[in-house]
């Protein structure tokens, strides 16, 4: 049980709770990205449904269905990054197509996306008509992969099938995955929870549960107040304090910590059957994955996955660093003009990301119009890259500095940045606003809020 989760103390406590049958009906897994929260939630679902001893290689029918994320007693919702993981798993499969483990890994990465379009969640969803052809294509290609005899298949056929699956997945992400959890999904999930399980127990997993509007939070709160006896509910988030207190009070928390470098390398070796050295060479980049992780403050696993992004983290990361450094310059310039001190968070962002930005040769500026024009020009108006992915990368850079500082004032700034980043993504990808206007709106809101807060004495130096 939980043998595949590497170096997480929270899992030891969770294993004891499950073994002694003292687990809570509702739980919160919280911690930095790529620390195993989602994998642990999936493993918990399998263990609670297992008909024998819940070992990873258990061959009972329930575990077999859970292993491929095909069990009817599992429901997952919530936004999360998919593109990098799917691409990494596809590469792992193509490196060793005869490996049953690599094939399972690729199928699971696709199912994590597909399961979010369960009939229970999508009923009456206005998006369904548009994405139905994509869902059918993804299902057909996934079935072909499932039945494929990799030992006898030609390399060209394998690459073509993987390419088709990735194309379907990217189309589904673009058309069907939003950045917030809609109230309709929470209501449908609540209905699903109250239906009898097909096996022993049901598990509802809500990833990045802090990405909800108030109406969805209130609907979830009703479910948590009286959860059905046959259901376990697991919420995940990067920060515990991001969860509404009334919801938090009904959850048993499990904290996931950043793994050691040795353990992160073991995750990459065991899960993706790869190494950082081999991947750095395969990416044909002069900067190693370890160097990128160190520069960005991200984990090795995050940096490893980012290296598989089609647009290339190599291209997006320096641009995002320049954007964050420009945000710091704009805020500092505005504050100095108003004869107010510059908060430590602004100085910290500049110190962290200005050198990376300067190395790209991008010109320093504190003019919003110039920043927006540069971003639009360098990204090709985000025709080949994801606007939301870029904004989220910028957000992760800010959050990385805030986490390291462990300063409440830094956290407050990252929360403000997160709020306005979410509004920019919604404007561009939900409301179809011009991306130039969405970026301008983000920068003006950040500048005005920083000035307003500083003048009011809300941010200390």
> What is the DSSP secondary-structure string of 36-78?
SHHHHHHHHHHHHH-SS---TT--SHHHHHHHTT--TTEEEES
Mean pLDDT of the 344-363 span: 80
Mean pLDDT for 407-417 is 79
- The greatest distance separating any two alpha carbons of the chain, rounded to the nearest whole angstrom, comes to 72
pLDDT band for 313, please (50, 70, 90 cuts). very low
Cα(101)–Cα(92) distance, integer angstroms? 10
265: which residues sit within 8 A by CB, 6+ positions away? 275, 276, 300
pLDDT at 458: 45
- At 406 the pLDDT is 67
Nearest alpha carbon to residue 334 among 357, 358, 364, 367: 367
Res 283 pLDDT > 60: no
Tell me the per-residue pLDDT of 143-159, one tens digit each, with 9 for 90 and over: 998 888 877 778 888 88
pLDDT at 268 over 80: yes
* CATH 3.40.50.300 residue ranges for the chain: 9-255
In the predicted structure, residue 188 carries a pLDDT above the cut 80: yes
> pLDDT tens across 11-40, in order?
999 999 999 999 999 999 999 888 999 999
Number of C-alpha atoms within 13 angstroms, CB side, residue 151? 2
pLDDT at residue 92 tops 80: yes
pLDDT of residue 154: 83
- Give 193-210 pLDDT, tens digit per residue: 999 999 999 999 999 998
Whether pLDDT at 368 is above 50: yes
Output the pTM of the full model.
Answer: 0.73
Determine what percent of the chain falls in helix, strand and coil, rounding each to the nearest 5.
60, 5, 30
- DSSP assignment of 184-219 equals HHHHHHHHHHTSPPSSS-EEEEETTTT-B-HHHHHH
What distance lies between CA 452 and its chain's CA centroid?
31
Q: What pLDDT is attached to residue 384?
A: 58
Asked if 198 and 170 touch (Cβ cutoff 8 Å), the reply is: no
User: What does the pLDDT look like over 204-248, one tens digit per residue?
Assistant: 999 999 888 889 999 999 999 989 999 999 999 988 988 999 999
Alpha-carbon gap, residue 104 to 49, rounded angstroms: 20
Q: Is the pLDDT of residue 286 over 70?
A: no
Count the alpha carbons within 13 Å of 294 in the hemisphere toward its beta carbon.
Answer: 6
State the DSSP code for 228: -
- Please give the pLDDT value at position 63: 92
* Of the candidate ranges 188-192, 241-245, 288-292, the one whose mean pLDDT is the lowest: 288-292
Torsion angle, alpha carbons of 301, 259, 281, 155, to 10: -50
Say what the pLDDT of residue 385 is.
63
Instruction: State residue 289's pLDDT score.
Output: 79
Residue with tokens 């509910």: 233
Q: Are 173 and 82 in contact (CB under 8 A)?
A: yes
Q: Which of 459, 456, 454, 450 is CA-nearest to residue 329?
A: 450
Q: Residue 256, CB half-sphere, CA atoms under 13 Å: how many?
A: 25
Higher pLDDT, 50 or 413: 50
Residue 461: band (very low, low, confident or very high) from pLDDT cuts 50, 70, 90: very low
Average pLDDT over residues 86-99: 90
Contact assessment for residue 299 and residue 32, using Cβ atoms and an 8 Å cutoff: yes
**Percent of the chain clearing pLDDT 90 (strictly above):** 39
Alpha carbon distance 17, 375 (integer Å): 49
**C-alpha–C-alpha distance, residues 425 and 88, integer Å:** 25
Polymer length in residues for the chain: 461
Least confident of 9-13, 78-82, 123-127: 123-127
pLDDT of 377 strictly over 70: yes
pLDDT value, residue 146: 86
The chain-wide mean pLDDT, for the chain, equals 85
Contact 80, 247 (CB under 8 A): no
Decide which of 114 and 280 is more confident: 114
For 417-448, how does the pLDDT look when each residue is reduced to its tens digit (9 = 90+)? 888 888 888 888 767 788 899 999 999 998 88
Q: Which fold has domain 9-255?
A: Rossmann fold (3.40.50)
In the sheet that holds 74-77, the strands lie side by side as 74-77, 202-206, 231-237, 26-30, 252-255
Q: Which residue has the tokens 């003006």?
A: 444
The encoded tokens of residue 109 equal: 């990465």
């Amino acid at each position: 049980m939980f043998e595949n989760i590497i170096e997480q103390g929270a899992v030891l406590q969770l294993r004891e709770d499950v073994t002694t049958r003292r687990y809570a009906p509702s739980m919160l897994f919280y911690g930095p990205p790529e620390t195993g929260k989602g994998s642990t939630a999936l493993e918990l679902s399998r263990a609670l449904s297992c008909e024998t001893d819940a070992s990873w290689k258990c061959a009972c029918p329930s575990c077999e269905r859970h292993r491929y994320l095909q069990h009817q007693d599992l429901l997952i919702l919530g936004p999360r990054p998919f593109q990098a993981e799917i691409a990494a798993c596809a590469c792992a499969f193509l490196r060793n197509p005869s490996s049953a483990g690599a094939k399972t890994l690729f199928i699971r990465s696709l199912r994590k996306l597909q399961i979010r379009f369960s009939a229970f969640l999508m009923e009456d969803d206005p998006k369904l008509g548009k994405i139905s052809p994509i869902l059918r294509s993804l299902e057909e290609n996934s079935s072909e992969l499932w039945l494929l005899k990799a030992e006898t298949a030609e390399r060209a056929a394998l690459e073509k099938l993987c390419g088709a699956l990735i194309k379907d997945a990217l189309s589904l992400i673009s058309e069907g995955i939003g950045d917030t959890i809609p109230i309709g999904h929470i209501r449908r999930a609540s209905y699903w929870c109250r239906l009898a399980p097909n096996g022993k127990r049901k598990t509802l997993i809500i990833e990045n549960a802090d990405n909800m509007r108030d109406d969805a939070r209130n609907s979830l709160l009703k479910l948590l107040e009286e959860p059905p006896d046959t259901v376990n509910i697991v919420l995940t988030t990067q920060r515990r304090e991001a969860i509404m207190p009334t919801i938090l009070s009904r959850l048993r928390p499990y904290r996931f910590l950043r793994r050691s470098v040795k353990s992160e390398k073991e995750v990459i070796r065991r899960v993706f059957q790869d190494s950082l050295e081999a991947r750095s060479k395969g990416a044909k980049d002069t900067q190693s994955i370890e160097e990128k992780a160190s520069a960005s403050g991200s984990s090795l696993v995050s940096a490893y996955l980012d290296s598989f992004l089609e647009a290339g983290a190599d291209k997006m990361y320096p641009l995002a660093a320049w954007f964050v450094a420009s945000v710091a310059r704009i805020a500092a310039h505005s504050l100095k003009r108003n004869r107010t001190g510059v908060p430590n968070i602004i100085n910290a962002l500049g110190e962290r990301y200005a050198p990376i930005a300067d190395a790209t040769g991008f010109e320093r500026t504190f003019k919003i119009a110039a920043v927006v024009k540069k971003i639009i020009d360098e990204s090709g108006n985000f025709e080949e890259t994801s606007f939301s992915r870029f904004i989220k990368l910028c957000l992760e850079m800010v959050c990385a500095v805030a986490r390291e500082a462990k300063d409440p004032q830094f956290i407050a700034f990252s929360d403000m940045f997160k709020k306005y980043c979410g509004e920019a993504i919604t404007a561009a990808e939900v409301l179809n606003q011009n991306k130039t206007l969405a970026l301008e709106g983000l920068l003006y809101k950040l500048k005005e809020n920083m000035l307003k807060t500083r003048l009011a004495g809300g941010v200390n130096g």
